Amino acid sequence: MKKYFVHKSSFIDANVTIGDQTKVWHFCNILKNSKIGQNCSFGQNCVIGPNVLIGNNVKVQNNVSIFEGVECEDDVFLGPSMVFTNVVNPRATINRRNDFKKTFVKKGSTIGANATILCGITIGEYSMIGSGAVITKDTKPYGLYYGVPAKHMGWISKSGNNLEFDNNGFAHDNSEDVIYRLLDDKIILI
């Protein structure tokens, strides 16, 4: 007995693993050999795979395609119509399936609506990518990025709040009661 939900308008290929409590909504297509964790949600019109790895508690909004070469860790949020790429120099008449670049989306990160993520990079854990941003380089853990091309614009907490550091490099997030330290351009949880 299935412990996940797939809407009748969606298609699931052979050799796909879907975790308990995951929901796949209207008009989705999950391609062969993809692995999806528990308690995930896929909005309408999503395409996953083939050979894609998705962790637990991942929320994928409408109109997102997660191509081969992309891996999402636990607790990732992918906003509506955001875009992944998997080839640096695509051409319609040249098969570059052997040139797919790996893209890693680390634990807890958020990618806003209509953002574009170029292939071959890592989105750092708990980083936040603003809506419409174009990410061309790796992002730092807990980094806040927006713009075209996106730039590092600040720091963000696990709960998604801006971090304001004092003169000693400490910030407190009241919503999670955690102290963060900025040291050598890196975030440390105290």
Residue 138 lies in a domain: yes
Q: Is the peptide bond before 149 cis (omega within 30 degrees of 0)?
A: yes
Residue 181 lies in a domain: no
Residue 173 lies in a domain: no
Residue 1 reports pLDDT greater than 90: no
Residue 108 reports pLDDT greater than 80: yes
Burial class (CB in 10 A: 0-12, 13-18, 19+), 16: middle
Mean pLDDT of 74-78: 99
Q: What is the Cα–Cα distance from 64 to 95, expressed in whole angstroms?
A: 23
Domain of residue 69 covers 5-164
Kindly indicate the confidence band of residue 62, based on its pLDDT and cuts at 50, 70 and 90: very high
Token pair of 111 as six digits: 């990618």
Residue 49 lies in a domain: yes
Residue-wise pLDDT for 124-182, tens only, equals 999 999 999 999 999 999 999 999 999 999 999 999 999 999 999 999 999 999 999 99
Task: Please list, in sequence order, all residues whose beta carbon lies within 8 angstroms of the beta carbon of residue 16, skipping any fewer than 6 positions away.
Answer: 30, 31, 32, 33, 34, 35, 36, 49
Mean pLDDT of 51-73: 98
Mean pLDDT of 108-117: 98
Mean pLDDT of 86-96: 94
Residue 2 reports pLDDT greater than 90: no
Residue 178 lies in a domain: no
Residue 190 lies in a domain: no
Residue 121 reports pLDDT greater than 90: yes
Contact (Cβ atoms closer than 8 angstroms) between residue 175 and residue 160: no
| CATH number (domain holding residue 125) | 2.160.10.10
Residue 189 lies in a domain: no
Residue 111 lies in a domain: yes
Residue 105 reports pLDDT greater than 80: yes
Structurally, the chain folds into a number of domains equal to 1
Task: Please list, in sequence order, all residues whose beta carbon lies within 8 angstroms of the beta carbon of residue 20, skipping any fewer than 6 positions away.
Answer: 3, 4, 38, 39
| DSSP element (H, E) containing 63 | none
Mean pLDDT of 97-108: 95
Task: Please list, in sequence order, all residues whose beta carbon lies within 8 angstroms of the beta carbon of residue 182, skipping any fewer than 6 positions away.
Answer: 155, 163, 165, 169, 170, 171, 188
